[in-house]
Structure 1
Amino acid sequence: MCGIFAIYCPRDGSCVEKFKLQQAIKYSRLQKHRGPDFHGYYQNEQTGDILCHERLAIMDLGCIQPIQGTQPDHQVIHNGEIYNHHKLRTTVLKEYSMSTTCDSEVIIFLYEKLRSGEICSLLDGVFAFALIYGDEFMAARDPIGVKPLYYGVDEKGRYMFSSEMKVIEKLCGKNELTAFPPGHYWTPSEGFVQYYKPAWLDYTLAAEPMDLKAIRETLIEATVKRLMSDAPIGVLLSGGLDSSLVSSIAVRRMRELGMPIRSFSIGLDETSPDLLAARKVAAFLGTEHHECTFTVEEGISILKKLIWHLETYDVTSVRASTPMYFLSKKISDLGIKVVLSGEGADEIFGGYLYFHNAPNDEEFQKETIRRVCLLSTADCLRADKSCMANHIEVRVPFLDKQFLNIAMLTAPQHKRPMEKDGRSVEKWILRKAFDVPENPYLPEEILWRQKEQFSDGVGYNWIDQLMEYCTKQVTDEQMATAAQKFPHNTPHTKEAYFIREVFHEHFGSDAAARTVLKWIPKWQANQDPSGRANQVHQKSIVQSKKTTENGHSAVLTQGLADKDSA
């Protein structure tokens, strides 16, 4: 995983000055945390186009980017992983002789052969890349936006592309700056072109019958392919359904391969809901389990640094990224570079508690599509940036293209919450797909456990005391004039105001503020994003008490992540 920065100079005379390479390198180093292993650069002397790369070595550990094609002016930089690169080398690209085993290399050779943005559709993986092919230039982003990418145009007409906004905000913020749309590529002649147009974008086509075997097998395949690495791998294990399933699948395959199996979880203390459940899952799976704790004071102390890394003022993202930042730091200190995680399942299957309130199947399906399409602004952004702050790559099997095709086209009536032991259970279809008594993937109380938001699951005091702290930092007078100071996405709570003010200190342009979308639950009177704000969660607490009084395990309803990030 890496950081990329690319500059294109128009050939029509509108670009009045070529960008200096040394200046480009300086700006690229603002994201050096994304790639501490190597940094490389290339400038086309004729056109002035530039490629800069900060590398976290995962595949072919000695490889340095940009990677050259068959000619010196054929170059590519890439952030992400191409899981089918071996297949491409032996099929579509079999006539080419390549110099590395790095997965990124296939991108420039695909372009040499096809000379079209449609190469993106041949790539199975996640990516943000930019390439130079002589006088030609192209940039692209993966289908869902798992990898971040920003686009801007500076006042001298130069086009810029970077993994993180901070690289180009001061250059482009007064002119044009936006997030590069997922599932698109860009060329000077075509502009933005949408190459990813899956059938599931049309909600009326979600009519497939429930196929538990297909769901199970495609998720297994998606997880196994993401074990591709020349660097050490771990699993994020929050103890919730999504991360636990990914961990269980990965552990089975890693054990077959003789690979070490390490799992990681975090909480405020040893009694945090996440740590209790994760401990149980780790014991069941037999992993080498590591726990991390942080204090509320420590969380508050890193907020300014964290928001600089996240490049968002979305309250949900900041709440959930704080524990993930501390956990990724511990993982990095242990020498792990890659972790698997459970992002995307709640969007695909309507797992957030507010989905219980969906008025009908049609609206349920529309909301799952909307949420998946917005992952690049929320869970994917949070997972990538909070972990890449400590140079850790996060891989997300639920967002595999094949798995998405199966799950998203399943008729919505099969994905809505269903009854289980007297209560309505979200993501019933996913749980049932892995409910295999003869060869269990998880303990039953984990498989059927209700979730809370990740920021809740690490310990309720985190959000409560964060809100209390922020309230003390913001006056009533400031709140009264919030709309004047922040007309776009005006903060409506003191917590949101405080976070927004910190963001504004780092990124002062209006364009930067417009890159952010706020995560707000639907069909819920209380707009606080915490899972505890939903009545379904409150009912589960009552059920938990009854279950405990009857002498059964309370883990089932102690809950995990409404946004199961780990």
Structure 2
Amino acid sequence: MCGIWAVFGSDENVSAQCNAVHKITHRGPDAFRIENIHHFQNCCLGFHRLSIVDDLRGMQPMRLYTYPHTYLIYNGEIYNHKSLAKEFEMMLSTEVDGEPIIHLYQTYGAVSMAEQLDGVFAFCILDTANRKVILGRDTYGVRPLFRFCTKEGFLAVCSEAKGLFGLCHSQNDEELQIEPFPPGHVEVYDLDSEGRATLSQSVCFNKTGQIPKYQLAIPTESYTNDVKENVAMLIEKAVEKRLMSDRRVGCLLSGGLDSSLVAALVVKLSKKLGITYPIQTFAIGMEGSTDLKAAKKVATHLGTEHHEVLMTPEEALKAIEKTVFHLESYDITTVRASVGMFLLSKYIQEKTDTVVVMSGEGADEVAQGYIYFHKAPSAQAAHDESVRLMEDLYMYDVLRGDRATAAWGLEIRVPFLDQQFTSFYLSLDPELRQPKEGIEKHLIRSAFDGSGLLPNEILWRPKEAFSDGVSSVTKSWFEIIQDDCKEKISQKELDSASSVYPHNPPHTKEALYFRKMFEKHYPGKAYWIPYYWMPAWSKTDDPSARTLKHYKQ
């Protein structure tokens, strides 16, 4: 987890504009570098580093003596960097996992390079020899990237949108569209003699469910004829590759299936890999939280160094505005679910030396884990909804996971979004992946049944949304927010909200409260969120799982 920032072809004072890079300092607290490319006009690259691998030689922008005209800034982890080096006979000069990006680009071009990367990433390459800029982002957008390009050819790039505000002062500034870079894409820009950029190529190199070019990273002989064995093997491999780190790795633990399974595999694999420090697990909730009870049970079973953080309703309500600022979102369920993760990340940063945190994000989308999947009219409809959710993850749950942790200088890793696992899982018969016997994610649960990794009551624990699990049994977190918003938002304000905010108009006081805080920091940028996240096939006006009939049963 780092922060990247770049501008090309600016008519303004580039040095003055470089101050904007400091708006993402939280993403890389270990080191900072800003580089004006002096022999290349109107160009500047910035980088905030969170040092995870190769502390000595991992600073960016990265250049290699073999390719002195190529500059790389990237945020992410390339898990197959060693196998790439071996397969393509690269002469690596560092241990940095991103170095193969430069070698592959120089040899095979931008698109073929991106197709070979097994990992999560957002990168910007400046090729001064060929006067090109190349941008790319991983398939599910696990690592964030924003950009804009004006009609005059001013291109700006940043890990978070906040780092692009105030950069452009042309006559078209009001029409400026700061947009999230599309996941699974590579864009190539040509630069003129003044450094101005023109988009010349935009390619989708990997789609949801597509078998990646690096599929053979898990050899064919590793698969069996047993679907459950393959599911278990792929999830374990996904966790193992994400233990690549020179810094301490811990686990976010809610006590639900996804985070508990990841934590159990981290503990198991840490012994195999010779990790000597005790694995830390972290849980947060209000007094009486079901998540805290379940997480403690898991931690005791696994023997982890467990940290339990109690948050009060007052603390959580006070944290909402900072959470919205870091999220760059006003989506109702995203904000609700992010506050607990934001406060837990704060604790981890202040009280421990864990820097990399493993999490269960993505499992509900891949494996139809949301409670409303019980209402799917058919197996195909459930599959289509799963794919839709995965394609939009970068605007919702993936966004939440990245921003809530990055706000405190942590790096989140999400094994359930491993592309080898997701491509295999989505290729299975849709009927195999549906909820069965009233239990969602039945296939994944049964794949680990009898393994001893988790207690049965955890392995088969029904789904509970994170924003609900952190609550007490008597009063849910969303009800606490709604009661607070009754005091902060008048009915008159709510009645006029649709005319004030025509895009995604707020229909509740809570939604209006979130929207007002968002507009305070990011006025006119509501289009970043195309729609409010809501459960499908369910008649409800609120996204909380506690409003669904199946949950109450």
**Under a length normalisation based on structure 1, what TM-score does the superposition of the two structures give?**
0.88
Q: Which of these residues, 362, 366, 369, is aligned with residue 351 of structure 1?
A: 369
1:154–1:171: 8 Å Cα contact kept in structure 2? no
What corresponds to 2:59 in structure 1?
Answer: 64
**Which residue number in structure 2 is paired with residue 42 of structure 1?**
35
Counterpart of 2:504 (choices 473, 489, 493) is 489
Counterpart for residue 79 of structure 1: 75
Match of 1:518, SS state, is: coil
User: How big is the shift at 1:90?
Assistant: 2.2
- Residues 46-88 of structure 1: CA deviation (Å, up to 9, x unaligned): 2433221111111112321111033443110010111111112
User: Which TM-score applies when normalising by structure 2?
Assistant: 0.90
Give the match for residue 160 of structure 1: 156
2:349 equivalent to 1:341: no
- Does 1:499 pair with 2:514? yes
Distance 1:505 1:253, change over 3 A: same
Residue identity over aligned pairs, in percent, reads: 38
Of 191, 194, 207, which residue of structure 1 is paired with 2:204? 194
- Is 1:276 the counterpart of 2:290 in the alignment? no
Contact 1:169 1:512 in 2 (8 A): no
Q: Is the 8 A contact 2:14 2:43 kept in 1?
A: no
Distance in 2 between residues matched to 1:159 and 1:517, nearest whole Å = 27
CA distance in 2, matches of 1:516, 1:2: 26
Q: Does the residue aligned with 2:156 lie in a helix, a strand or coil? A: strand
From 215, 235, 249, the counterpart of 2:265: 249
Which AA in structure 2 matches 1:442? L
Call closer, same or farther: CA 1:306–1:444 in 2, change over 3 Å: same
- Structure 1 residues 287 and 216: alpha-carbon distance in aligned structure 2, compared to 1, 3 A threshold: same
CA-to-aligned-CA distance 1:122-179 (integer Å, 9 cap, x gap):
1110000101111121011001100111121247431111110111133367322211
Which among 480, 484, 493 is matched to residue 465 of structure 1? 480
Match of 1:428 among 442, 458, 461: 442
Whole-Å Cα distance in 1 between the matches of residues 312 and 430 of structure 2?
Answer: 41
For residues 335 and 301 of structure 1, the distance between their equivalents in structure 2, rounded to whole angstroms, comes to 26
Aligned to 2:178, what secondary structure does the other structure show?
strand
Which among 471, 493, 497 is matched to residue 478 of structure 1?
A: 493
SS at match of 1:264: strand
Equivalent of 1:317, from 334, 337, 357? 334
1:4-62, Cα deviation, whole Å (9 max, x unpaired)? 112233xxxxxxx4454423431111000000111112333324332211111111123
Question: How many residues are treated as equivalent by the alignment?
Answer: 516
Query: Aligned partners of 1:311 and 1:210: how far apart in 2?
Result: 43
| Equivalent residue, structure 1, for 2:456 | 444
The C-alpha deviation readout for 1:457-506, integer Å capped at 9, x for no partner, is: 01144221111111221111111111111010101111000000000000
C-alpha change, 1:352 and 1:198, in structure 2 (3 Å) is closer
Structure 2 CA distance, aligned partners of 1:340 and 1:40?
28
1:531 equivalenced with 2:531 (yes/no): no
Aligned-CA RMSD value? 1.8
Whole-angstrom distance in 2 between the partners of 1:443 and 1:112: 50
Deviates more, 1:220-229 or 1:176-185: 176-185
Matches within 5 A, 1:85-124: 85-94=81-90, 96-98=91-93, 100-124=94-118
| Contact 1:28–1:52, Cα closer than 8 Å, also in 2 | yes
Give the alignment partner of residue 416 of structure 1, picking from 434, 441, 448. 434
Matched, 1:390 2:390: no
SS of the counterpart of 1:497? helix
2: distance between equivalents of 1:305 and 1:126?
A: 26
Aligned partner (choices 123, 129, 132) of residue 123 of structure 2: 129
Aligned-partner residue type, residue 85 of structure 2:
R
**1:258 Cα shift?**
3.4
Q: State which drifts further: 52-61 or 83-92.
A: 83-92
- Per-residue CA deviations over 1:198-237 (Å, capped at 9, x if unaligned) read 5559xxxxxx997101100000000000000011110111
Partner residue, 1:223: 239
Distance in 1 (alpha carbons) for counterparts of 2:89 and 2:20: 35
* One-letter amino acid matched to 2:456: E
Q: Secondary structure at the match of 1:440?
A: coil
> What residue identity is the alignment partner of 1:506?
H
Q: Which whole-Å CA distance do the structure 2 matches of 1:3 and 1:53 have between them? A: 6
Please report how far the alpha carbon of residue 515 of structure 1 lies from its aligned counterpart in structure 2 after TM superposition: 4.2
Q: Contact 1:273/1:459 (CA < 8 Å) preserved in 2?
A: yes
3-state SS in 2 of match to 1:418: coil
